[in-house]
Amino acid sequence: MENLEIKIEQLFEKATDYAKTSYELFRLKTLDKTADLASSLISKLIVYVLFASFMLFLNLGLAFWLGEILGKIYFGFFAIATFYIVVGLGFHFIFSKHFKKNIRHSIIKKILK
């Protein structure tokens, strides 16, 4: 009878250790995935901010240059704004579903990696 109690205690200790180890493994895997996702997003964000800054100054330069050519500075800004509204609407109606699907798949891949 004592032998059975000792074996049950050992089994209980092993089950407890297994549960603690499984929890710790789950926690570390979650931390790894979160850190991977965060670092990926931060690095992409830096690139996007730099690209957006480049595009801002490029568009300002184009707007002033077109404004000089058209005779009034604000005509250049209207021309750039018109270009972007046409491109934006075209992009929205033609490619929005495709990009939404690709972004969703890339996020799922990153999380399940």
Is residue 71 predicted with pLDDT exceeding 90?
A: yes
What sign does the dihedral 56-59-61-64 (CA atoms) show?
negative
More confident residue, 31 or 5: 31
- The DSSP code sequence of 21-79 is HHHHHHHHHHHHHHHHHHHHHHHHHHHHHHHHHHHHHHHHHHHHHHHHHHSSHHHHHHH
Q: Could you tell me the pTM of the whole model?
A: 0.59
What is the structure's pLDDT at 9?
A: 84
Six-digit token pair at 105? 């798949």
Six-digit token pair at 20? 């603690």
What is the structure's pLDDT at 1?
A: 65
pLDDT in tens, 13-64: 888 999 999 999 999 988 888 888 888 889 889 999 999 999 999 999 999 9
pLDDT cut 90: percent of the chain above it:
50
How far is CA 10 from its chain centroid?
A: 47
What is the structure's pLDDT at 40?
A: 83
Six-digit token pair at 38? 């965060």
Average pLDDT of the residues in 71-98:
90
